[in-house]
Amino acid sequence: MRCLIDTNILIHTIDKRDLLKQELAIRLLSVLNPDDTALPAQVLAEYANVSLKKFRMPADQVYQHLQAYQASFVIVSLTPAVVLEAVRGVRDHQLSYFDAQIWAAAKLNQIPIILSEDFNTGATVEGVHFVNPFEPGFDIESV
User: Partners of 125 in the beta sheet?
Assistant: 128
Number of neighbouring beta carbons within 10 Å of residue 132:
18
Specify the length of the chain in residues. 143
The C-alpha atoms of residue 111 and residue 130 are separated, in whole angstroms, by: 11
DSSP structure class, residue 35: G
Contact 6, 42 (CB under 8 A): no
User: Partners of 63 in the beta sheet?
Assistant: none
Where residue 139 falls among pLDDT bands split at 50, 70, 90? confident
CA 32 to chain centre: 13
State the CATH architecture for 3-133: 3-Layer(aba) Sandwich (3.40)
pLDDT at 38: 97
pTM of model > 0.85: yes
Within the chain, strands assigned E span 3-5, 37-40, 74-76, 113-115, 124-125, 128-131
Q: What is the pLDDT of residues 67-104, one digit of tens each?
A: 999 999 999 999 999 999 999 999 999 999 999 999 99
Q: What is the pLDDT of residues 98-109, one digit of tens each?
A: 999 999 999 999
